[in-house]
Amino acid sequence: MKRVLVPLAEGFEELEAVTIVDILRRAGIEVVVASLAGSPVTGSHGLRISADTPLGALAEQDFDMVALPGGMPGAEHLRNDKRVAELLRRLRARGKPVAAICAAPMVLAAAGLLDGRRATSYPGFLKDAPNTTVVGDAVVADDGIITSRGPGTALDFALTLVSELAGPAARRTLETALQREAAAAR
């Protein structure tokens, strides 16, 4: 079974975090929600979510992907945490995908993972990533690095993660179960 880490920092974007966790779990992917500090973690709109574990307890564990929700100041806290940067670099060095949405692509940029890549983010959060081609697409997948724009693209982002980890057929099955195809046909 594929295993994904979703780190939460104070001020995370609730819609993004919950969508990532929910959609991946519906697809049969194990998701570990880790807090940078204590638990529960409070999002940018006051929602409190209990983490499965503190990030520090996962130092030697293996994951198939790390998916970062955005939100402010949550994304800043992720960017400033050396453990997060090291984990991201370690996964990429092993050829594993990493993903970030909204403000969180700046975490990937700060870790040096967006150099020479195409990426997207909430407007303005990649302005300090001069070696990155910033585009306005809802979701961008560039050789194992997946980025997305914001809360309104969270479902598309999470479904792209499913496709990356479990394949396009798993995504289509999940979209059918969610009645997403019927909505698109209207």
- pLDDT at position 183, please? 47
CA 28/CA 166 separation, integer angstroms: 9
- pLDDT at position 185, please? 47
Between the alpha carbon of residue 86 and those of residues 50, 81, 125, 142, 163, the distances in Å are 24, 9, 21, 20, 25
Say which residues have a Cβ less than 8 Å from residue 127's Cβ, sequence separation at least 6. none
Of the candidates 102, 107, 111, 126, the residue annotated as catalytic is 102
pTM (two decimals): 0.95
Nearest 10 degrees: Cα torsion 117, 56, 33, 151: -40
- pLDDT at position 83, please? 95
- pLDDT at position 186, please? 38
- pLDDT at position 180, please? 86
The CB density around residue 171, as the number of other CB atoms within 10 Å, is 21
- Residues facing residue 110 across a β-bridge: none
Does residue 102 have an active-site annotation?
yes
- pLDDT at position 128, please? 87
Map out the domains of the chain as residue ranges.
Answer: 3-185
104 and 75 in contact (C-beta within 8 Å)? yes
Structure tokens at 132: 């990155």
Structure tokens at 102: 């909204």
Where does 3-185 sit in CATH, by number?
Answer: 3.40.50.880
Q: Give per-10-residue mean pLDDT for the chain (186 aa).
A: 97 98 98 94 97 91 96 98 96 97 98 97 93 96 97 98 97 94 50
The pairing of beta strand 48-49 with beta strand 41-42:
antiparallel
